[in-house]
């Protein structure tokens, strides 16, 4: 069967949420997603202005990529929120092809750059580095637990 990259739409939410649960709850991430929380997360991304997303299908869903364009000063940037490929299909070019489709689309939209957050020193960082991403020397990611008072 032919492989297809299609625009991510509302009809893909459930199967993409299921894939996200499978991928992100497994090794090495071991996160705690449920079908409900993954679907809510993807619905929020889909409903954000500037949404761009694609799925990769070969009979069944094999992967997806989603994120949003954002205006900055005099440039348009894209925040890559999630890229997800079935564990048994990783390292076969699906993620890279999804990323290429995304970049080609963003170029036609005059997007100047892509940024993302990912875990340090893991397979995801290696994947992004292989695909032309680098650590920003200008941006520091910070976090605060809201349950901790001053």
pLDDT at 123 over 90: no
Q: Residue 140's pLDDT is what?
A: 83
Cα–Cα distance measured from residue 80 to residue 102, given in angstroms and rounded to the nearest whole number: 9
Report the CATH architecture of 4-130: 3-Layer(aba) Sandwich (3.40)
Q: Residue 103's pLDDT is what?
A: 96
Express each pLDDT in 96-120 by its tens digit. Answer: 999 999 999 999 999 999 998 888 8
Cα–Cα distance measured from residue 120 to residue 133, given in angstroms and rounded to the nearest whole number: 13
Question: For residue 150, what pLDDT band results from cuts at 50, 70 and 90?
Answer: low
Cα–Cα distance measured from residue 111 to residue 91, given in angstroms and rounded to the nearest whole number: 27
Is the overall model pTM greater than 0.85, yes or no?
yes
């Amino acid at each position: 069967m032919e492989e297809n990259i299609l625009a991510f739409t509302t009809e893909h939410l459930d199967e993409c949420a299921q894939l996200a649960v499978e991928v992100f709850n497994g090794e090495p991430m071991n996160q705690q997603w449920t079908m409900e929380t993954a679907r809510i997360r993807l619905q929020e991304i889909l409903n954000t202005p500037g949404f761009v997303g694609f799925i990769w299908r070969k009979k069944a869903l094999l992967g997806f990529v989603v994120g949003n364009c954002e205006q900055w000063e005099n440039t348009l940037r894209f925040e890559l929120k999630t890229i997800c490929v079935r564990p048994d299909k990783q390292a076969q070019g699906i993620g890279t092809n999804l990323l290429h489709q995304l970049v080609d689309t963003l170029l036609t939209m005059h997007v100047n750059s892509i940024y993302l957050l990912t875990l340090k020193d893991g397979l995801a960082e290696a994947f992004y580095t292989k695909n032309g991403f680098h650590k920003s020397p200008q941006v520091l990611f910070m976090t605060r637990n809201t349950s901790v008072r001053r």
